[in-house]
């Protein structure tokens, strides 16, 4: 009894201590003589208490049960003990004595509590993790998967365990998995991207981090893996890269536009001289006069050069010089005959114009040029025949569209879609199609300005253009033109103004280029106007002071060395409030609308211009 290493007691049926071994005395620090004869609950649980604790295993022996055990807190000993109570019965089966043995399990209980808390923290960490966590065996079969992993793989909670990666991957991805498994068997950690296919067919891109698992013998048994779904992030990165590329392309086009604008300005001054003197000669030479035919050819060539320059300017301008409200559906319908003459068999041309399309602000001729350029490009892309569809429809661009299409604006638009079934383009070609002089056609078959002009006109209209194409799958151009808002209208005044009735009108001509000033002076004099001229804004101001109110019209270039035409007009107008002003310029980035238009008494004339166009602007200025 005394050799038992745990505290041991012998109790009678009333729980009085009959004997206590040495381990009890050592535990409570009292000799057994002070313990024997006292109730056990008073010694170990609650000195001075009224009775035993309700969970005491001794209490269950009175019901005739056999060995009873239980864990109990013994306050006097300051710990938790595992108590076993064995009954000793008489010949009639009555309880005579109880062998009571207690084992101190305080440290074990503390260790178990710490273990439970650690497991709970681990479980919470793994199960609440937003990233998927899994364990796979050597066959890539899941032995464990947290809820996030179930969600990433698109399966019900708790069902990823037992399934293999092969069930979620296409065959080409399995080659990657096998390669990574071989690397892990060699002891390497993996960090790679893996495309999976969810049960519903949706593909998702995962970023995988895997660490090899080894058995007791050091052999490979599987891997610990962490999965992060980066599909949306990758799409956002791709979209950002695409938008950045669009921005760079736009900036490059703008830079080219500024260069083209400067060239066009100088060229327009030359054309003003060439075409202007040609006009004057054609007015003076009778129909059967000598050299009239040669002069007419010079004039015709000048007009062609002016048209080419106009194309360059069209690209440079952010909006047309003179805008008007136009109905694109009517314009496209009116073009059908011309388009069908241009697009013949074996190309099947289909044209659809929704009459519900709103009006857009721009130049009808520029709109027609866009349609023709796109149609001809599509025709050339189908040498063996195909289908060309030209559609016009109303559409409302929302915020999502604007985010995905650089330069687009929200609101109602008119969409012009030109689609062919031709040879298509590579991505490299598609990114360059709007560059000036870039062409994939054979030498002598194209100038490379067609789509360059299309881009410029669309930007004039305040719109945006979107192109999709793949080799051998055709090309689709989608052009979005904002619908005109408010009462803004520009009258269609194609009729030539009268070139008579300017007798007695005095005009002050301001132009820094001598040849241009000379030809414009000759035009003005041929119309019957009296001309005063100046080569700069400062000189014009001095002339204005000398002649006072005798000058009815100021005809001035805008961009000149020193002060510009706007400044000269302001100073002269302050001194002579009744004077009329006509600005002229060959620069693309000049915006006359800020100082010209209805109610201002001012007009704008784009270089190069004809004698008749000059007469019309003067008539408009004098009649306002």
**C-alpha pair distances (Å), 204 with each of 476, 486, 487, 564:** 29, 47, 51, 61
CB 275 within 8 A of CB 608: yes
Flag the least confident range among 11-20, 210-219, 238-247, 520-529: 238-247
Q: In the chain, what percentage of residues exceed pLDDT 70?
A: 86
Do residues 456 and 588 make contact, with C-beta atoms less than 8 angstroms apart?
no
Whose CA is closest to 456, among 339, 575, 335, 362? Answer: 362
Residue 327, phi then psi, degrees to nearest 5: -100, 105
Query: Are 149 and 132 a contacting pair, CB within 8 Å?
Result: yes
Determine the Cα–Cα distance for residues 283 and 300; give it in Å rounded to an integer: 15
DSSP run (H or E) holding 207: strand 203-214
Question: Does 477 score more than 90 pLDDT?
Answer: yes
Q: What tokens does 280 get?
A: 């004057």
φ, ψ for residue 116, nearest 5 deg = -65, -40
Q: What is the CA angle 489-457-437, rounded to 5?
A: 160
Pairing of strands 506-510, 530-534: parallel
Flag the least confident range among 157-161, 180-184, 252-256, 391-395.
Answer: 252-256
- Please say whether the beta carbons of 565 and 556 come within 8 A: yes
Instruction: Kindly indicate the confidence band of residue 205, based on its pLDDT and cuts at 50, 70 and 90.
Output: very high
Tell me the percentage of the chain whose pLDDT exceeds 90.
27
Please report how the helices 450-460 and 292-316 are oriented relative to each other, as an axis angle in degrees rounded to 10. Answer: 60
pLDDT per residue over 140-194, tens digit each? 899 999 999 999 999 999 899 999 988 998 888 888 888 888 888 888 888 889 9
Query: What's the rounded Cα separation, in Å, for the pair 21 and 16?
Result: 15
- Strands of the 17-20 sheet, one edge to the other: 17-20, 8-12, 95-104, 79-89, 68-74
CA–CA dist 104, 107 (Å, integer) = 8
H/E run at residue 514: helix 514-526
Cβ atoms of 208 and 230 closer than 8 Å: no
Is residue 21 within 8 A of residue 8, CB to CB? The reply is yes
User: What is the model's pLDDT at position 443?
Assistant: 53
And the tokens for 594? 């800020």
Helix (H, G, I), strand (E, B) or coil at 601: coil
> What is the per-residue pLDDT for 449?
63
Q: Taking all residues of the chain, what is their mean pLDDT, rounded to a whole number?
A: 83
Burial class of residue 292 in the structure, from the number of CB atoms within 10 Å of its CB (0-12 exposed, 13-18 middle, 19+ buried): middle
Q: What confidence score (pLDDT) does residue 600 get?
A: 57
Choose the weakest-confidence range: 416-420, 567-571, 591-595: 591-595
User: Which contacts (CB < 8 Å, 24+ apart) does range 396-401 have?
Assistant: 397/480
Q: Is there a contact between 50 and 40 (Cβ–Cβ < 8 Å)?
A: no
Q: Residues 611, 279: contact at Cβ < 8 Å? A: yes
User: And the tokens for 227?
Assistant: 């999965």
> Are 300 and 624 in contact, with CB atoms under 8 Å apart?
no
For the ranges 160-174, 220-234, 256-270, 434-448, which has the lowest average pLDDT?
A: 434-448
Rounded-to-integer distance, Cα 26 and Cα 15, Å: 21
Confidence of residue 596 (pLDDT cuts 50, 70, 90): low
DSSP 32: G
Q: Please give the pLDDT value at position 25.
A: 86
- Structure tokens, 551: 């000058």
Q: Report the distance separating Cα 490 and Cα 362, nearest Å.
A: 9
Task: Report phi then psi at 560, rounded to 5.
Answer: -140, 160
User: What's the burial of 304, exposed, middle or buried (CB within 10 Å: 0-12/13-18/19+)?
Assistant: exposed
Strand partners of residue 86: 99
Most confidently modeled range among 387-396, 493-502, 522-531, 577-586: 387-396
Q: Give phi and psi for 377, each to the nearest 5.
A: -60, -45
Evaluate whether 463 touches 480 at the Cβ level (below 8 Å).
yes
Least confident of 43-47, 234-238, 485-489: 485-489
Residue with tokens 């009116």: 334
For the beta carbon of residue 89, count every other beta carbon within 10 angstroms: 13
- How many CA atoms does the CB half-sphere of 55 hold within 13 Å? 10
How do residues 298-335 score in pLDDT, each as one tens digit? 888 887 777 666 655 555 554 444 567 889 999 898 88
Residue 346: asked if its preceding bond is cis (omega within 30°), the reply is: yes
Contact 614, 527 (CB under 8 A): yes
């Amino acid at each position: 009894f005394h050799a038992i290493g745990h505290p041991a007691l012998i109790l009678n049926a009333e729980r009085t201590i009959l004997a206590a071994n040495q381990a009890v005395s050592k535990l409570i620090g009292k000799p057994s003589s002070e313990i024997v004869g006292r109730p056990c609950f008073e010694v170990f649980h609650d000195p001075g208490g009224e009775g035993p604790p309700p969970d005491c295993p001794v209490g269950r022996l009175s019901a005739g049960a056999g060995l009873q055990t239980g864990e109990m807190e013994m306050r006097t000993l300051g710990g938790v003990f595992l108590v076993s109570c064995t009954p000793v019965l008489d010949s009639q089966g009555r309880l005579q004595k109880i062998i009571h043995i207690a084992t101190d399990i305080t440290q074990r209980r503390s260790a178990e509590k710490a273990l439970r808390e650690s497991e709970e923290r681990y479980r919470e960490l793994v199960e609440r993790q937003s990233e998927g966590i899994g364990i796979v065996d050597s066959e890539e079969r899941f032995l464990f998967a947290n809820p996030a992993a179930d969600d990433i793989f698109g399966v019900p909670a708790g069902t990823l365990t037992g399934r293999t990666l092969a069930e979620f991957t296409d065959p080409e991805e399995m080659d990657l998995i096998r390669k990574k498994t071989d690397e892990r068997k060699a002891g390497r950690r993996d960090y790679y991207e893996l495309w999976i296919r969810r049960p519903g067919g949706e593909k998702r891109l995962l970023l995988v981090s895997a660490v090899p698992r080894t058995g007791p013998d050091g052999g490979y048994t599987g891997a610990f893996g962490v999965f992060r779904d980066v599909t949306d992030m990758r799409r956002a990165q791709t979209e950002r890269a695409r938008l950045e590329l669009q921005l760079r392309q736009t900036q490059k086009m703008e830079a080219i536009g500024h260069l083209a604008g400067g060239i066009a300005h100088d060229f327009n001054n030359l054309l003003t001289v060439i075409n202007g003197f040609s006009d004057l000669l054609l007015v003076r030479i009778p129909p059967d006069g000598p050299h009239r035919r040669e002069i007419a050819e010079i004039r015709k060539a000048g007009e062609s050069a002016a048209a080419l320059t106009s194309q360059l300017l069209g690209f440079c301008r952010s909006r047309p010089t003179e805008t008007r409200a136009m109905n694109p559906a009517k314009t496209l319908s009116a073009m059908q005959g011309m388009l069908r003459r241009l697009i013949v068999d074996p190309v099947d041309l289909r044209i659809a114009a929704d009459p519900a399309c709103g009006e857009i602000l721009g130049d009808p001729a520029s709109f027609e040029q866009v349609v023709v350029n796109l149609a001809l490009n599509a025709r050339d892309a189908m040498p063996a025949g195909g289908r060309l569809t030209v559609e016009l429809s109303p559409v409302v661009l929302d915020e999502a569209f604007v985010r995905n299409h650089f330069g687009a604006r929200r609101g109602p638009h008119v969409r012009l879609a030109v689609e062919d079934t031709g040879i298509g383009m590579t991505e490299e070609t598609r990114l360059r199609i709007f560059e000036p002089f870039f062409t994939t056609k054979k030498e002598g078959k194209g100038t490379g300005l067609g789509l360059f002009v299309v881009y410029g006109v669309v930007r004039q209209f305040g719109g945006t253009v979107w192109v999709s194409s793949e080799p051998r799958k055709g090309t689709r151009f989608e052009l979005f033109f904002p619908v005109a808002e408010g009462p803004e209208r520009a009258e269609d005044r194609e009729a030539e103004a009268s070139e008579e009735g300017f007798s007695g009108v005095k005009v002050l001509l301001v132009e820094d280029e001598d040849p241009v000033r000379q030809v414009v002076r000759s035009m003005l004099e041929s119309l019957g106007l009296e001309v005063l001229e100046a080569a700069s804004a400062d000189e014009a101001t001095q002339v204005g002071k000398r002649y006072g109110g005798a000058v009815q019209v100021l005809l001035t270039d805008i961009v000149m060395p020193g002060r510009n035409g706007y400044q000269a007009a302001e100073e002269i107008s302050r001194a002579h409030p009744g004077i009329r002003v006509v600005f002229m310029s060959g620069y693309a980035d000049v915006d006359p609308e800020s100082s010209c238009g209805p109610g201002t008494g001012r007009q704008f004339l784009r270089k190069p211009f004809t004698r008749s166009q000059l007469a019309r602007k003067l008539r408009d200025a004098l009649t306002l």
